[in-house]
Chain A
Amino acid sequence: MKAEGKRRIWDEYQKEIAGDKYFYVRSCVRQNFFPGAEKTFLRYMKEMGKTVYENPSHTTCSGIGYHSDIVPFETAMTMVARQFALMTESGYENFVTSCITSFGLYTEVLETWHHFPELEEKIRLHLRNATGREFKKPKNLAHASDVTYKLRKEISRAGKYRLVNRNTGEPIRVVEHIGCHYSRMFPSKGVGGAEYPYVLVGMIEEWGGQVIDYPERRHCCGFGFRQYLVKANRGYSISASKKKFDSMKPYKPEMVLTNCPGCPMFLDRWQYTLSEMEGTTYGENGQGIPVLTYEELAGLILGYNPWDLGLQVHQVPVEPLMDKMGIPYDPETKFLDKNGHSMGKPKSPSFLKFY
């Protein structure tokens, strides 16, 4: 592997990312999947002195329906136009999405309007007729992982921990997995392009870790929308995840880092399912491979309480990673809510080592 070859590609795919004053739109599903991730983003953005505004009237972008073939494109475009109207009404110009599919959809809509301005006019009319709203297009569109990538050095400077094994001094070996809708449709809109995306690699390297490239790096996480959303297809979903784990295992990854709602969900949950189905685990000593969102990892680097990050709801325990990084945690408070009440403890899996 020639690192300079990758660096050359990375140099060619750099994008402009606004520095402050962001209009933030949340994901439909992330708060159910990994409930602390978005909150953590808002927390470190505030600590870095950045203004992030959320408008309570914002809705789904409809991307999940669009990519599942149940929402027509014109409807999706009108939903997107409404989000832009909220941004305009709120006095913001820099649009930041939490969800990768939303980012892909917003990008696709803006590109469509660029090439077919008559469609933009049509959608403006739809929105006007339906809601009376008008909008300006964002000056800057970024995914929240782009913004975190932009702040990676500041996070590193403010950080208390590094992606380094404190016992050996070796960098933590990290698999990075990018959501399909981040840059595969429009490579120039993602940091690092489509084939060798850099957005997560940049964070991992800056925070001390070592990135693993493995043969099935580009393969789907297992979500793939209809692979999972259509119940009869779920065998495809889990077999896609299995293919990835089998491929990455020889490289002994110590964690997986993601930037999509679906990827951490499936790479995390299916490890449990695979262990129950086949008795197979992919980490060291019967452990799984912890799967984190970039917000959760940034939170760990910054020294936030792991249970405030929501790491207790991960199916694959994150404790082995925290032990390596020297991050303290209190097992006694793991399953207590913020008022100190027990949330109940999940049943231990049959094979996957549980903490």
Chain B
Amino acid sequence: MENTVIVIGGGISGMTASGMLALQGMKVTLLEKEAETGGHVARWDRLFPDRKKAAEVLDFAREGMKNVNVVTGAEVTGISWHDKGFTVTSGIMQPASSVPGPESLIANSGSLINEIAAGESNYTARALVLAMGFDLFEARKKEEYGYGIYNNVITSADLEEKFKSGKDILTSEGKIPARIGFVHCVGSRDEKVGNLYCSKVCCVTGVKQAIEMKEMYPSAEVFNFYMDLRMFDRHFEELYYEAQQKWGVSFIRGRLAECAENPDGTIILKTEDTLTGKPLKMTVDLLVLLSGFVPASGTAKIAGMLGLQRGTDGFVNSADSHSMNNLSGIPGVFLTGALKGPISISEAIADARATALLLADYLKSGKP
């Protein structure tokens, strides 16, 4: 039981925290409900602001996880705590043949599994790291934008998948898009869908993706519809300038009201240019919705098991948002990454490292 940690969630936060904990000599088990680790980053092609390949960031994180016992397909079904620490029960979500048995896990990690019962495994450790991350806002909930109904309305995640495939990005009719629209704040800062918070990274994602579309199709017209652009981090503002000055991307301040499909499959938009104070109606060949963050589907369940407080936005509250942002308020339970709210990849990595440092100190001193 000494120096044992369970990390729940195998996105970039959980991976980084696991690696850092293992580096400090902890015996770490990472439970990931999906078949692979990597989370959202694994589905992304290039990252802002420097266009680094997302795969390189993941490779770096995986490199640090050599001594981490990774259990994929493991959905947490129960958590209990006792004087020695925590027991996490997880259902095996993948075929039994592909799930490592207890013997192999003991051999690899040093002893975290106590028992396996029909389809479920129990893992015990002295501390927990919660790193459930986030889900992307389901764009179809903004019904007036027609995602899932109009063929040429896609999300930023769909676009990244297309980038990743390396193929030409075409309309559903197989044409090169001559006009492309990006809609910011889809599911963020939107009282109508109940999400008042800013998702933080969509602005710069929209700028990055707009540039990438211009690189692919220099003659295309690209429009970004935004409320305001929150270029909060280093090099973000430069990227925004580059989009305008080098690539000629147009930025229109106005929230999209609705869209509809023309007979030829193009998308007709209704919005307002609030800088000129005029309603605007225009047609694009491809519309990209920049979906924001929402708490991961498992967050409410796992927070409920531990009695953790969540905000009205659904994200988990830390013990103190300034000085104890990695602490949950329960001794031995640590929080890292986007389960506490929207966060960029670089911030998630820094946060995970901070979590690992605090957790190591906790195991050493016994104090939170």
Which residues of A approach B to under 8 Å, CB–CB?
1-2, 5-6, 8-9, 193-196, 213-218, 250-251
Contacts and interface: CB of A to CB of B under 8 A. Distances in A.
B260 A1 contact: no
12 contacts: A1-B150, A2-B148, A5-B140, A5-B147, A9-B149, A195-B143, A195-B144, A196-B143, A215-B261, A218-B258, A250-B263, A251-B263
Contacts, number: 40
Nearest to A216: B260
A81 B261 CA distance: 43
B151 interface: yes
B143 A9 contact: yes
Nearest to A215: B260
Contacts of B261: 1, 213, 215
A190 to B, nearest CB: 13
B55 interface: no
B172 to A, nearest CB: 10
Contact of B149 (A5, A215, A216, A250): A5
A5 B145 CA distance: 12
A182 B268 CA distance: 25
B151 A1 contact: yes
Interface string B127-145: 0000000000000100110
A194 B143 contact: yes
B289 to A, nearest CB: 14
B148 A8 contact: yes
Contact of B140 (A1, A8, A213): A8
Contacts of B148: 2, 5, 8
Given A1-B150, A1-B151, A5-B149, A193 B143 contact: yes
Interface string B247-267: 000000000001011110000
A77 B143 CA distance: 31
Nearest to A214: B260
A1 B149 contact: yes
Contacts of B143: 9, 193-196
Contacts of A194: 143
A213 B148 CA distance: 15
Contacts of B147: 5
Contacts of B151: 1-2
